Amino acid sequence: MVYVDGFAGPGRYSGGEDGSPIIALKALAAHGRKLQSVFEFHFVERDRRTVDALTANIAALRDEGLVVPSTSISVHPRQSVEEAYDQTIAPRLAQTPGAPAFALVDPFGWTGIPMRIMASLMNRSSTELLLNFMFEEINRFLSHKDQPENFDALFGCPDWRKADTLSGHARKNFLHDLYRDQLRRAAGARYVRSFEMLNDRGASDYFLFFATRSLLGLRKMKEAMWRIDPAGGMRFSDATNFNQQVLFEPKPDTRLLRRMIEAQFSGTRATVRDVELFVLEDTAFHAGHYKKVLKEMEGTGHLTPVSPPPKRRAGTYPDPDLTLDFAARHSPLSLTD
Ligand SMILES: C[S@@+](CC[C@H](N)C(=O)[O-])C[C@H]1O[C@@H](n2cnc3c(N)ncnc32)[C@H](O)[C@@H]1O
């Protein structure tokens, strides 16, 4: 398994908080299962002192016994992520085409993370990308006279110029949607979701884009995002489609999910698998959420399983091939609901 952190930072901050490299290494060490794989971590960092701090923090982690033995860790002191990627990381990934990879791209700005690198990552059979799209900075510098080349590279197309005539939400939505669509179109990601991070004034600070070609990757990422405790003061929501924005809360809004499932399936027949794919691909929710909704709908007669096995317990959906008959939306049943 290959883990790439493009803008690694020191690994530990003066206040004692862990940075992304140490978080990743600790997560591996804390993994509950006995893993057979070999792990390879690549940390790229430009600043010399930060590289030294990171190297020392990794050594301290090893001393504490918190680095899994079959792990190789490379810290790349490079002026540019592009250079490190082209010269070292891409050739290494090419040597291990079957190895799953995870790339974290967490820059300070928008330069040095061209769409062509995202395309190269997505070209592999199993890569997950998590990228910090610094919306606030990008938005502020979009019209700067020195930046067109950098924005062409970031978006992988010239269309960002159309944001010139837009302002406020329309501008934000346009830039977000352009980047999302470019991850699909230009980079070849099959699944893209974005998470909007709101600062304490409720303003949009940045977006995290997640991209992958793997349905399993999408499923796991969603589960991970829903598990994050929002208590830290940071609020975030799934913003992939702005007209369906869903705030991540300890208790998911399953009424909203029910409306989405009804809008999609009312008056039709679909298998449990169809519902799961729809929920995973087209909504903010994860696979665990929809079973609760199906159970509720079955309980109120809004869906009926077609020829279920005699021993099936009502309100349970272990068989993905089970066909469900969804009542039409304007049936007397939904009027009395
Ligand atoms: C936002 S911080 C990363 C924080 C890190 N992900 C964490 O969780 O602690 C960005 C880091 O990237 C480094 N950096 C900035 N530009 C870079 C570049 N072109 N190549 C490599 N590293 C760079 C900075 O020195 C800084 O440490």
pLDDT digits (tens, 9 = 90+) for 238-287: 889 888 888 888 888 899 999 999 999 999 999 999 999 999 999 999 98
40 lines ligand 1 (CB under 6 A): no
Position 333 pLDDT exceeds 60: no
Pocket test for ligand 1, best of 4, 7, 48 (most atoms within 8 A of CB): 7
Q: What is the pLDDT of residue 125?
A: 87
DSSP letter at 303? E
**CA–CA gap between residue 68 and residue 61 (Å, rounded):** 10
Mean pLDDT on 215-241: 83
State the pLDDT at residue 330.
Answer: 66
C-alpha 202 chain-centroid distance: 21
Pick the CATH number of 254-336 from 3.40.47.10, 3.40.50.2300, 1.10.10.10, 3.40.50.300: 1.10.10.10
Q: What is the DSSP string of 172-218?
A: HHHHHHHHHHHHHHTT--SEEEEEEEE-TTS-EEEEEEEEES-HHHH
> Does the pLDDT of residue 116 top 60, yes or no?
yes
Residue 152 pLDDT > 90: yes
Q: Is the CB of 20 under 6 A from ligand 1?
A: yes
251 burial via Cβ count (<10 Å: 0-12, 13-18, 19+): exposed
In CATH, 2-247 is 3.30.70: no
pTM: 0.92
Q: What percent of the chain has pLDDT over 90?
A: 81
Which H or E element spans position 3? strand 2-5
Specify the pairing of strand 191-198 against strand 235-238. antiparallel
Return the ligand 1 atom nearest residue 19 CA. 9
Rounded mean pLDDT of the chain? 92
Q: What are the sequence ranges of the domains in the chain?
A: 2-247, 254-336
Classify each residue of 199-214 as buried b or exposed e, where b means 16 or more C-beta atoms within 10 Å of its C-beta: eeeeebbbbbbbbbbb
% of the chain at pLDDT higher than 70? 96
User: Is the CB of residue 114 below 6 angstroms from any atom belonging to ligand 1?
Assistant: no
Please give the radius of gyration of the chain, using alpha carbons only, rounded to the nearest integer. 22
